[in-house]
Amino acid sequence: MLNMSQAKKYLQRGGFILVAAGFMYTSNLGLLSYVAHWNSPKLYWKGKLEDTVRAEAELLGFHEEITIKIEDNGKTPGLSYKQGGKYFVQLSPDRADLAELRHELYHIANGHLDSNSINSFWQEPKATFYAFIMSFKDRE
Ligand SMILES: [Zn+2]
Backbone angles phi, psi at 54, to 5 degrees: -60, -45
104 C-alpha to ligand 1 centroid (Å): 6
120 C-alpha to ligand 1 centroid (Å): 8
Using only C-alpha atoms, the chain has a radius of gyration, in whole angstroms, of: 14
Q: What global pTM score does this model have?
A: 0.76
47 C-alpha to ligand 1 centroid (Å): 24
Q: Which of 39, 5, 36, 19 is nearest to 100 (CA)?
A: 36
What residue segments make up the domains of the chain, in order of their start?
Answer: 4-138
**Which tens digits make up the pLDDT trace of 31-78?**
888 888 887 888 766 667 888 999 999 999 999 999 999 899 998 889
111 backbone φψ class: left, alpha, beta (φ>0; ψ -120 to 50): left
Q: Which band of pLDDT confidence, cut at 50, 70 and 90, is reported for residue 26? A: low
103 C-alpha to ligand 1 centroid (Å): 6
Alpha-carbon distance of 94 to 113, in angstroms, equals: 25
Q: 4-138 adopts what CATH topology?
A: Zincin-like (3.30.2010)
84 C-alpha to ligand 1 centroid (Å): 20
128 C-alpha to ligand 1 centroid (Å): 7
Report the pLDDT value the prediction gives residue 54, as an integer from 0 to 100: 93
55 C-alpha to ligand 1 centroid (Å): 20
Q: How far apart are the first and last CA of the chain?
A: 7
